[in-house]
């Protein structure tokens, strides 16, 4: 994957998150500035998702901790093989919002 493809994949991921928040009517504010997507919940807690261009990784930080994802087999995965979407669902739940990003 080259840098342009990386940025395109991250932008698609952020778009999917924003669409799901809107579609579900969740009380979550999504703000994207540069390489960082900040999701702010009603209690002012946050999930931070940022691009790590040098490593071609997507990083997620929440009340559950920090996780790094590489794009492998057509999806963002941790080194252990866990899906970004699974982690994000768990993070949303920990922050008080139930949502399904996976089918």
Q: Where are the domains of the chain?
A: 3-95
Query: Does the pLDDT value for residue 102 go beyond 80?
Result: no
3-95 belongs to which CATH class? alpha beta
Give residue 89's pLDDT.
94
Running DSSP on this structure, what letter comes out for residue 81?
-
Of 69, 64, 65, 24, the residue nearest 50 (C-alpha): 69
CA neighbor of 46 nearest in space, from 56, 36, 55: 36
Average pLDDT of the residues of the chain: 93
pLDDT tens sequence across 21-44: 999 889 899 999 999 999 999 999
DSSP secondary structure letter of residue 27: S
pLDDT-derived band at 101 (thresholds 50, 70, 90) equals confident
The pLDDT > 90 percentage for the chain reads: 86
CB atoms within 10 A of CB 89: 17
| Residue 44: other Cβ atoms inside 10 A | 6
């Amino acid at each position: 994957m080259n840098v342009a493809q990386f940025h395109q994949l991250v932008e698609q991921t952020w778009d999917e998150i924003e669409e799901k928040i809107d579609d579900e009517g969740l009380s979550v504010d999504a703000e994207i500035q540069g390489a960082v997507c900040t999701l702010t919940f009603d209690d002012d807690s946050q999930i931070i998702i940022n691009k790590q261009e040098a490593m071609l990784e997507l990083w997620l930080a929440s009340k559950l901790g920090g996780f790094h994802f590489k794009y492998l087999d057509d999806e963002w995965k941790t080194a252990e093989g866990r899906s970004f979407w699974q982690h994000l669902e768990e993070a949303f739940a920990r922050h008080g919002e139930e949502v399904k990003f996976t089918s």
